[in-house]
């Protein structure tokens, strides 16, 4: 995954491009580069390895005075991270310059085609194919123009792409095109912008066009025209975006991740929104959907979003009375699932751009299933493909490790389960009203859980040098453990696993030895004593434990020490993932900080995974 930015107008392009890249760095940070068409009409390219700040400090930028430019921050897919592989890339004659986010799957075929026609590739990237193909078509028929050459080249590409094309032959134009990778166009006064996502250019404009798959945009400083790949004109509607640009900045916190952890009470409150505004009926934008036609449901997502599904499966079973399966999108899309028009498929995604989730969504639609998506990024691909969309109002989530999106997803899924119960005439089920009060109380309880940050920092200090860490719990507590464990590994690089506590004795307990760290989670009175026994078993084998609980656990008859307990606010076990995950997020955060790691941009990861 990579990030792209573009600017055309009257300002100097470089500062706009660099600001955009800094905001998009979560999408990739192996290398960065930009191309600017100078006022002398010379096209200049500057690239650097590593972070955008290396590019920002590159003295070569001083010679770039133009007001038209494109830029790229890279997360290597084809071709190792290197200055030579970093974007922008040009064709052999240096006529066309391109930045690209995505993957060209028919690279080998196109490379041979270009070689047969006298082109040589100088990098290991698939992107270099694109400017050369454009050149090939342009040189065959220059009278048809550059747009026509671009559209001919695009038709040859298989895979995913969001591209920008500039050329000294096009004095005042950027050409943008998209298939399966995100790109938005920001509209200003006498200037226009391009970016992989909204926050990258939100400080310049609130007016956006969302480019769809198989669409081309032709930007000048005063106009934006749209075409399909056959160059038929398209009319598109401009959308006003209300996000606060300040909300995408760090606001005094050391890192985006910490800021986002502390934003959770507000984000959850915003996500609950007006769902419970009326006493008679839960308010969600799902009018006309009759849930009695479904006989089962799937929740499909990746990573943290999938964990939100695992954490809420039990609410759907208890209140919506559906058999509920939770699946990873990357598995679901290839395993020929038994779904039809009587299946409800719910997709969860913070970015709305995850390639596997999009593919799974398309599969569900092909089978005639009804699709509802829970998404954070407004106007993203998943929102446009789904039958119904429910937004988490978490605001921009910049840190690669997802935190506030997860708690908002669990909150919204819980509300959806209640909505379905009501729609099916099941709101008299025991616990329905209590669940509503529990959801409404979540923002305050998460706020109290955040007060534990300092004591959790102490625990992180005692554990940050560990090589391994285990998380154990049962039912929803197990789902919480999976999320806690993922947070720890992705930002602290400590090997960690989550286990259903009762499974330990079937093999994994062999790994427990003196000094092994085990985090237990207990939020359900029904299985409290069971998990407690499992924790006692690991303590007697030498483990150091941390117990996160909202139960009045009595450890007096165990080997567990009272001071190893983190007490979180009480709530129903059904919504406990929202509260119990907070100390686990903080633990991962402080551990990574003690290890002096970059928590916002962990190695090998990107914020949204738009390639398979």
Judged by CB under 6 A, the residue of 98, 302, 345, 415 near ligand M6R is: 302
Taking the complex as a whole, the smallest distance from the CB of residue 206 to ligand M6R amounts, in Å, to: 23
- Under 8 Å between Cβ of 406 and 495: no
350 makes contact with ligand M6R (CB under 6 A): yes
Please indicate whether residue 318 is annotated as part of the active site.
no
Coil/strand/helix, residue 256:
helix
Which stretch, 165-173, 302-310, 495-503, 569-577, contacts ligand M6R (CB under 6 A)? Answer: 302-310
- Residues 599, 600, 601, 604: is their CA dihedral positive or negative? positive
Catalytic residue among 178, 318, 445, 607: 607
Taking the complex as a whole, the smallest distance from the CB of residue 329 to ligand M6R amounts, in Å, to: 8
What DSSP letter does each residue of 197-208 carry, written as one string? Answer: SGGGGTTT-SEE
351 makes contact with ligand M6R (CB under 6 A): yes
What DSSP letter does each residue of 295-349 carry, written as one string? Answer: SEEEEEE-HHHHHHHHHHHHHIIIII--EEEEEEHHHHTTS-----TTEEEEEEE
Residue 492, CB-side half-sphere exposure with 13 Å CA sphere: 30
- Under 8 Å between Cβ of 505 and 477: no
Judged by CB under 6 A, the residue of 36, 299, 300, 305 near ligand M6R is: 305
600 makes contact with ligand M6R (CB under 6 A): no
Nearest to 413 by CA among 534, 301, 566: 301
Taking the complex as a whole, the smallest distance from the CB of residue 602 to ligand M6R amounts, in Å, to: 8
Q: Site size for ligand M6R, by CB under 6 A?
A: 17
Judged by CB under 6 A, the residue of 381, 453, 524, 608 near ligand M6R is: 608
Q: Which is nearer to ligand M6R, 477 or 600 (CB)?
A: 600
Coil/strand/helix, residue 485:
helix
Judged by CB under 6 A, the residue of 170, 360, 609, 611 near ligand M6R is: 609
482-501 residues in contact with ligand M6R (CB under 6 A) are 486, 490
Coil/strand/helix, residue 285:
coil
CA distances from 306 to 325, 330, 422 (A): 11, 11, 25
Catalytic residue among 2, 302, 345, 408: 2
Please indicate whether residue 12 is annotated as part of the active site.
no
85 makes contact with ligand M6R (CB under 6 A): no
- Under 8 Å between Cβ of 175 and 152: no
What is the spatial distance between Cα 107 and Cα 92, in angstroms, rounded to a whole number?
17
356-375 residues in contact with ligand M6R (CB under 6 A) are 357
Rg of the chain, C-alpha, whole Å: 26
Which stretch, 140-148, 349-357, 503-511, 589-597, contacts ligand M6R (CB under 6 A)? Answer: 349-357
543 makes contact with ligand M6R (CB under 6 A): no
What is the spatial distance between Cα 307 and Cα 51, in angstroms, rounded to a whole number?
30
Q: Which is nearer to ligand M6R, 134 or 482 (CB)?
A: 482
Taking the complex as a whole, the smallest distance from the CB of residue 248 to ligand M6R amounts, in Å, to: 16
Q: Which is nearer to ligand M6R, 474 or 487 (CB)?
A: 487
Taking the complex as a whole, the smallest distance from the CB of residue 308 to ligand M6R amounts, in Å, to: 9
What is the spatial distance between Cα 34 and Cα 328, in angstroms, rounded to a whole number?
36
Q: Which is nearer to ligand M6R, 121 or 606 (CB)?
A: 606
What is the spatial distance between Cα 586 and Cα 575, in angstroms, rounded to a whole number?
19
Sheet with 239-240, side-by-side order of all strands: 43-49, 31-37, 68-74, 3-8, 192-195, 184-187, 207-210, 239-240
Taking the complex as a whole, the smallest distance from the CB of residue 310 to ligand M6R amounts, in Å, to: 12
Expressed in angstroms, the distance from the first to the final Cα of the chain is 10
Taking the complex as a whole, the smallest distance from the CB of residue 351 to ligand M6R amounts, in Å, to: 3
373-412 residues in contact with ligand M6R (CB under 6 A) are 400-402
Which stretch, 18-26, 261-269, 298-306, 335-343, contacts ligand M6R (CB under 6 A)? Answer: 298-306
Judged by CB under 6 A, the residue of 85, 132, 349, 524 near ligand M6R is: 349
What is the spatial distance between Cα 7 and Cα 13, in angstroms, rounded to a whole number?
6
Residues forming contacts to ligand M6R in the complex (CB under 6 A) are: 302-305, 349-351, 354, 357, 400-402, 486, 490, 605, 608-609
Active site residues: 2, 607
């Amino acid at each position: 995954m990579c990030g792209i930015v573009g600017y055309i107008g009257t300002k100097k392009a470089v500062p706009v491009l660099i600001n955009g890249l800094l905001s998009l760095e979560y999408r990739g940070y192996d290398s960065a580069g930009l191309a600017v068409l100078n006022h002398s009409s010379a096209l200049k390219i500057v690239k650097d390895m590593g972070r955008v700040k290396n590019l920002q400090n590159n003295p070569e930028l001083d010679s770039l005075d133009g007001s038209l430019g494109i830029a790229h921050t890279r997360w290597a897919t084809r071709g190792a991270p290197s200055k030579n592989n970093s974007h922008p890339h040009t064709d052999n004659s240096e006529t066309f310059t391109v930045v690209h986010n995505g993957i060209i799957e028919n690279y080998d075929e196109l490379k041979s085609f270009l070689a047969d026609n006298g082109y040589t590739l100088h990098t290991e990237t698939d992107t270099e194919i694109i400017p050369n193909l454009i050149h090939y078509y342009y040189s065959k028929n220059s009278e048809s123009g550059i747009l026509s050459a671009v559209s001919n080249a695009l038709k040859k590409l298989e895979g995913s792409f969001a591209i920008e094309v500039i050329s000294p032959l096009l004095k005042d134009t950027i050409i943008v095109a998209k298939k399966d990778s995100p790109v938005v166009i920001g509209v200003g006064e006498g200037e226009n912008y391009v970016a992989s996502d909204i926050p990258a250019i939100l400080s310049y404009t609130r007016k956006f066009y969302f480019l769809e798959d198989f669409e081309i945009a032709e930007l000048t400083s005063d106009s934006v025209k749209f075409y399909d790949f056959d160059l038929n004109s398209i009319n598109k509607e401009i959308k006003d975006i209300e996000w606060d640009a300040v909300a995408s900045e760090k606001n005094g916190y050391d890192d985006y991740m910490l800021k986002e952890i502390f934003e959770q009470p507000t984000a959850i409150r915003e996500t609950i929104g007006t769902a419970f505004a009326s006493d008679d009926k839960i308010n969600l934008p799902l009018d006309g959907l009759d849930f009695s036609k479904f006989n089962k449901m799937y929740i499909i997502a990746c990573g943290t979003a999938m964990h939100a599904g695992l954490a809420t499966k039990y609410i759907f079973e208890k209140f919506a009375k559906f058999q509920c399966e939770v699946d990873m999108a990357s598995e679901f899309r290839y395993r020929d699932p038994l779904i039809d028009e009587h299946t409800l498929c719910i997709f969860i995604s913070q970015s709305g751009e995850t390639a596997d989730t999009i593919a799974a969504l398309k599969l569900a639609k092909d089978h005639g299933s009804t699709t509802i998506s829970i998404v954070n990024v407004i106007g993203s691909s998943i929102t446009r493909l789904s039958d119904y969309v429910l937004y988490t109002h978490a605001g921009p989530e910049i840190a690669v490790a997802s935190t506030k999106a997860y708690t908002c997803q669990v909150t919204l899924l819980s509300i959806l389960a209640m909505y379905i119960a009501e729609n099916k005439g099941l709101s008299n089920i025991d616990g329905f009203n209590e669940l509503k009060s529990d959801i409404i109380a979540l923002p305050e309880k998460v706020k109290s859980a955040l007060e534990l940050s300092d004591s959790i920092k102490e625990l992180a200090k005692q554990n940050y040098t560990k090589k391994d860490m285990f998380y154990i719990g049962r039912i929803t507590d197990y789902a919480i453990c999976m999320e806690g464990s993922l947070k720890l590994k992705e930002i602290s690089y400590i090997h960690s696993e989550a286990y259903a506590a009762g499974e330990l004795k079937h093999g994994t307990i062999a790994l427990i030895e003196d000094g092994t760290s085990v985090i237990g989670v207990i939020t359900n009175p029904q299985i409290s004593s069971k998990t407690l026994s499992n924790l006692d078993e690991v303590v007697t084998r030498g483990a150091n434990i941390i117990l996160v609980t909202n139960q009045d656990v009595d450890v007096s008859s165990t080997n567990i020490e009272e001071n190893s307990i983190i007490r979180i606010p009480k709530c129903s076990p059904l919504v406990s993932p929202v509260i119990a995950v907070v100390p686990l997020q903080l633990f991962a955060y402080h551990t990574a900080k003690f290890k002096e790691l970059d928590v916002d941009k962990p190695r090998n990861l990107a914020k949204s995974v738009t390639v398979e």
